[in-house]
């Protein structure tokens, strides 16, 4: 859940709780206060009733040991005096209760005062009631009002919180977007500060910037290191190979020595190839290549086919080009050439004599994909998993394999945001699929 | 022809010196930018072999300085281990005639120097005559008695390279590198070349006997004249 939503929900919940609490409080206190008022009035009425006990009207009832009942027209209040069993020492205790009574066919809820008292050697129960309908009504109005306020407050706070937190968090998302998501190269990092008055975000912004500074310093260091290493290694190789070539110029050399010189030159060349390949991978990974060319895939394939024609013929392979689309990507042409060259070269290298290589493409939802399939020796799943690792090589008759071809392929595909998939069946063949999604 | 080697690595300079002297060049050597500057001011050279990473400065500065001088026609070949594409492009843009990434083979260097010489001096006879075959570097053709021998681009490259380095054994690796370039194709298998050479031989032998086109077992090829 987004922080914005979480904050809004939290705010809403607390507000609901506060309103509910105050509503309940008001409700309870109103009940208490009005009951209090009623009770005070009932108390006064009791006093008045007890004073008028000797009045003729009531007295006649009492003398006859009958129940005396009196109520007003709207039955808002009533008085009953009921004779009960005589007890000499009746404590004059006043109790209050809320009960529903039936007064002349009408059920009403009353607050009732009950009091036992002795009069003329008899004990009577005095009950005075006052309807609390008005209180109940007030309570229900307050309930409704509270609910309404609750609902409005809920909606208002939810909306206002969402809007406000959105406003508040805008710099945060800006930082995430500009400083983290859109950064794929620490060298081109945007150090400009995001405008915000929130200190926490400023801190975040500064921290990311300083982290990036450290990373890009490391990047620069690595680039320098690679450039230096390449220089330091390639120069001695250069000297040795020149020296060997010069020695070969001397005609008095025996055939055996000459062969050894040439073998050494070959080994040196191998060393040079490995260094150059590692350098290439590092340069690609350090984004030291320009991506400004429009590269037409079909054109590159055609070129590579021409270059490799002799090898294809030599192995009696059938090369089928099924490309249907003229598709161009923005990238680095020499790198794209190397990428496709390495893949096609592998499909020749690991093919069987009289096998075939098929190149096909398709366009789905504007996503272009090209597949290079061969009928070669194939790979097991474990081999596929390791195929892109450096210095990983498979049993091959070819001597000059350094296990760097697919590592180069991987770095170039990553550089161009190309998705690469390998499908392979042992002894059946391999299909390498390049999917050109995420093209920037 | 005189050559100035601007290279701080003494070992390499000596080897190049030995090789080029053997080929009949007069060689001078400068190890720093400063001494190179002095030499370039005083003398005209046919070739300047320029290393970019000098102890007291960038080789590019020398190139700029040279291009600023009037009436100078010194051919510049940049020799560097930096190998960055930028360097290559920048070097050629600033007027270098060629660019070789270290480590390079001396025969490749010689072939490049020959190519530049022919380009620069527009030799009356651009043709090299090999046993009645005329190799024209400019037009990239091989003729026999006014009849053009139909060679592919790669076959011509191989033949041309062997001719320029005649009487020397050229290894398969060396040939591969020359024909395929040294930069990106690490899977350059040596038997690539064999196929081309086989075809090349077949084509040439239709015109003249080619016993001079030798295979040096397990190493490479030599044109022995």
- The residues spanned by each domain of chain A are 3-137, 199-285, 293-436
Contact B81 A262 (CB under 8 A): no
Give pLDDT, residue B125.
57
Domain stop point among B121, B151, B173: B121
DSSP state of A403: S
B160 and B99 co-located in one domain: no
Question: Which of A290, A334, A342 is closest, CB to CB, to B187?
Answer: A342
* Per-chain mean pLDDT for chain B: 83
Give pLDDT, residue B24.
86
> What is the complex's ipTM, to 2 decimals?
0.77
C-alpha dist (Å) from residue A410 to A413, A418, B147, B167: 5, 9, 49, 43
User: Across the strands, what pairs with B134?
Assistant: B129, B143
B49 CB neighbours in chain A (<8 A) are: none
Domain stop point among B74, B101, B121: B121
How many separate domains does chain B show?
A: 2
Q: Which domain holds residue B105?
A: 2-121
Whichever domain contains B158, its CATH number is 1.10.10.10
A304 CB neighbours in chain B (<8 A) are: none
| B181: confidence class by pLDDT, cuts 50, 70, 90 | low
Which A residues 40-69 touch B at CB under 8 Å? none
SS3 A69: strand
- The burial class, CB within 10 Å (0-12 / 13-18 / 19+), for B16 is buried
Give pLDDT, residue B184.
43
Give pLDDT, residue A373.
93
A234 CB neighbours in chain B (<8 A) are: 81, 83, 101-103
Global pTM value:
0.60
Between chain A and chain B, the number of residue pairs with CB atoms below 8 A apart is 127
- The burial class, CB within 10 Å (0-12 / 13-18 / 19+), for A123 is middle
Contact A235 B187 (CB under 8 A): no
B106 and B144 co-located in one domain: no
Alpha helices (H) in A105-254, listed in sequence order: 133-175, 199-249
Domain stop point among B121, B150, B181: B121
Give pLDDT, residue B82.
66
For chain A, residues with pLDDT lower than 50 are 398-399
Whether the per-residue pLDDT at B185 is higher than 70: the answer is no
Backbone angles phi, psi at A183, to 5 degrees: -95, 110
Pick from B82, B86, B88, B102 the residue to mutate for testing the A interface (most A CBs within 10 Å).
Answer: B102
B53 and B141 co-located in one domain: no
CATH class entry, domain A293-436: alpha beta
B13 and B113 co-located in one domain: yes
Question: Which of B12, B184, B220 is closest, CB to CB, to A338?
Answer: B184
Which pLDDT tens digit goes with each residue over B19-64? 999 888 999 999 999 999 999 988 889 899 998 888 888 888 888 8
Which pLDDT tens digit goes with each residue over B129-148? 888 888 887 778 888 888 88
Q: Is A311 on the interface with B (CB under 8 A)?
A: yes
Which pLDDT tens digit goes with each residue over B77-117? 998 876 666 677 777 888 888 888 888 889 889 888 988 88
Largest Cα separation within chain A, whole Å, is: 162
Pick from A238, A263, A310 the residue to mutate for testing the B interface (most B CBs within 10 Å).
Answer: A238
B112 and B139 co-located in one domain: no
Q: Is B174 on the interface with A (CB under 8 A)?
A: yes
Whether the per-residue pLDDT at B149 is higher than 70: the answer is yes
Give pLDDT, residue B14.
92
Give pLDDT, residue A356.
92
User: Which H or E run includes A32?
Assistant: helix A3-51
B111 and B8 co-located in one domain: yes
Whichever domain contains B49, its CATH number is 3.40.50.2300
Contact B106 A259 (CB under 8 A): no
Chain center to CA of A440: 24
């Amino acid at each position: 859940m987004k922080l914005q939503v979480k904050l809004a929900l939290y705010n809403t919940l607390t507000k609901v709780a506060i309103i509910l609490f105050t509503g309940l409080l008001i409700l309870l206190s109103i009940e208490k206060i009005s009951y209090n008022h009623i009770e005070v009035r009932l108390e006064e009425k009791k006093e008045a009733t007890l004073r008028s006990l000797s009045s003729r009207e009531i007295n006649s009832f009492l003398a006859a040991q009958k129940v005396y009942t009196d109520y007003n027209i709207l039955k808002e209040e009533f008085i009953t005096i009921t004779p009960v069993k005589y007890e000499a020492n009746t404590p004059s205790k006043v109790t209050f209760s809320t009960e529903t009574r039936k007064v002349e066919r009408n059920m009403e809820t009353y607050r009732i005062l009950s009091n036992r008292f002795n009069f003329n050697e008899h004990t009577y129960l005095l009950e005075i009631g006052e309807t609390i309908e008005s209180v109940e009504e007030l309570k229900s109005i307050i309930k409704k009002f509270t609910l309404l306020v609750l609902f409005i407050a809920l909606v208002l706070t939810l909306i206002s919180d969402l809007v406000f937190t959105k406003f508040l968090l805008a710099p945060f998302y800006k930082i995430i977007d500009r400083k983290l998501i859109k950064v794929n190269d620490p060298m081109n990092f945007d150090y400009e500060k995001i405008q915000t008055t929130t200190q926490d975000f400023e801190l975040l912004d500064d921290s990311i910037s300083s982290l990036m500074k450290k990373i890009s310093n490391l990047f620069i260091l690595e680039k320098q290191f690679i450039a230096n290493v390449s220089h330091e290694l390639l120069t001695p190789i250069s000297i040795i190979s020149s020296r060997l070539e010069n020695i070969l110029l001397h005609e008095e050399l025996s055939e055996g020595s000459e062969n050894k010189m040439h073998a050494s030159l070959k080994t040196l060349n191998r060393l040079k190839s490995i260094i150059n390949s590692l350098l290439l991978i590092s340069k690609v990974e350090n984004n030291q290549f320009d991506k400004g060319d429009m590269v037409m895939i079909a054109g590159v394939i055609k070129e590579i086919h021409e270059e490799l024609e002799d090898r294809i013929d030599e192995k009696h392979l059938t090369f089928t080009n099924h490309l249907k689309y003229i598709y161009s990507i923005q990238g680095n042409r020499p790198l794209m050439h190397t990428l496709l060259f390495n893949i096609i070269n592998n499909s020749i290298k690991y093919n069987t004599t009289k096998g075939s290589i098929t190149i096909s493409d398709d366009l789905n939802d504007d996503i272009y994909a090209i597949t290079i399939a061969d009928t070669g020796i194939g790979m097991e799943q474990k081999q596929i998993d390791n195929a892109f690792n450096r210095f990983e090589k498979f049993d091959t008759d070819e001597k000059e394999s350094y296990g760097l071809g697919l590592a180069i392929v991987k770095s170039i595909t990553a550089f161009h945001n190309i998705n690469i998939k390998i499908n392979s069946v042992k002894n059946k063949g391999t299909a390498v699929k390049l999917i050109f999604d995420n093209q920037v | 022809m005189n050559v100035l080697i601007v290279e701080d690595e003494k070992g390499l300079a000596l080897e190049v010196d030995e090789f080029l002297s053997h080929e009949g060049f007069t060689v001078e050597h400068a190890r720093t930018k400063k001494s190179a500057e002095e030499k370039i001011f005083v003398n005209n050279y046919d070739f300047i072999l320029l290393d970019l990473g000098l102890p007291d400065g960038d080789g590019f500065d020398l190139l700029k300085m040279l291009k600023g001088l009037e009436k100078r026609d010194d051919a510049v070949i940049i020799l560097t281990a930096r190998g960055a594409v930028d360097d290559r492009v920048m070097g050629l843009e600033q007027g270098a005639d060629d660019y070789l990434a270290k480590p390079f083979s001396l025969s490749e260097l010689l072939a490049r120097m020959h190519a530049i010489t022919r380009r620069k001096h527009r030799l009356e006879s651009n043709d090299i005559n090999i046993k009645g075959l005329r190799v024209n570097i400019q037009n990239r053709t091989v003729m026999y008695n006014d009849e053009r021998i139909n060679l592919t681009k790669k076959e011509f490259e191989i033949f041309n390279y062997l001719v320029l380095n005649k009487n020397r054994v050229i290894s398969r690796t060396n040939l591969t590198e020359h024909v395929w370039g040294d930069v990106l194709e690490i899977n350059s298998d040596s038997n690539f070349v064999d196929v081309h050479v086989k075809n090349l031989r077949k084509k040439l032998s239709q015109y003249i006997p080619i016993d001079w086109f030798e295979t040096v077992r397990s190493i490479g090829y030599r044109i022995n004249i």
